[in-house]
Amino acid sequence: MSYRVVSLNIGMPVTLHSEFGEVETAIRKQPVTSRVYLDTLNFNGDQQADQKHHGGVDKAVCLYPHQHYAYWESFYQRTFRIPAFGENLTVSGVSEHNTHIGDIYKLGEAELQVTQPRQPCYKITRNHDIEGFPTEVIKTGYTGFYLRVLKPGYVSPEDQMKRVHIDNAKVTISEVNDVKYDGNIHADELERVMAVEALAESLYDSLKRNL
């Protein structure tokens, strides 16, 4: 299965000014038109402001499904310019429902593996001046997700993202979101997610504490 890359986006941290104060963030990435080298931590020219919560090998690449933009534009009655969610990859067709933890994708010269859902934070509110935006993202499950880099290499905006492996456990991003945010989840459901070998270490630790 192949998916179309709508936009490849990179950016460095900047300071956002708002009525709530200043915040350092790299959410305001910009689309690129030429190929970019991807190593195990970042695309060249890309960096996270908060290395503790957004960086590291398990969160090297952030992907957001392109089709969700239509929902948000209808919901908020405004236009959202890509990459409105600070994602590195805006991809058409892929979603939280058809993506599993541990799935592997080929993108240009690189190979990527899905590690965990993206957790929306207050910086989305600051970036768009929309109070409660992270809560709405969680309610819809339109979170996007992170990938680790198994094989570095050059990636082009014209590349197709091809899934080359489906994880045997078939735990979807949507199921992980349910486990993270639904207070009625049972221990066996937590354990099923935690058993996936490719799950990001930080999320595993968080779910273990919940268990």
Instruction: Tally the domains of the chain.
Output: 1
pLDDT digits (tens, 9 = 90+) for 154-174: 999 999 999 999 999 999 999
Residue 44 to residue 41: CA distance in whole angstroms: 9
Domain ranges, residue 94:
2-210
Residue 15: the pLDDT is 86
Phi, psi of 150 (to 5 degrees): -85, -35
Average pLDDT of span 103-125? 95
Q: How confident is the model at residue 81 (pLDDT cuts 50, 70, 90)?
A: very high
147: left (phi over 0), alpha (psi -120 to 50) or beta: beta
Residue 92's contacts (CB-CB under 8 Å, 6 or more residues apart) are: 3, 4, 5, 6, 65, 66, 67
Q: Does 122 score more than 90 pLDDT?
A: no
Residues 6+ away with beta carbon under 8 Å from 81: none
CA 208 to chain centroid, in Å, comes to 22
In DSSP terms, which residues pair with 147 in a beta bridge? 61, 114
* CATH number for 128: 2.40.33.20
Average pLDDT over the chain reads 93
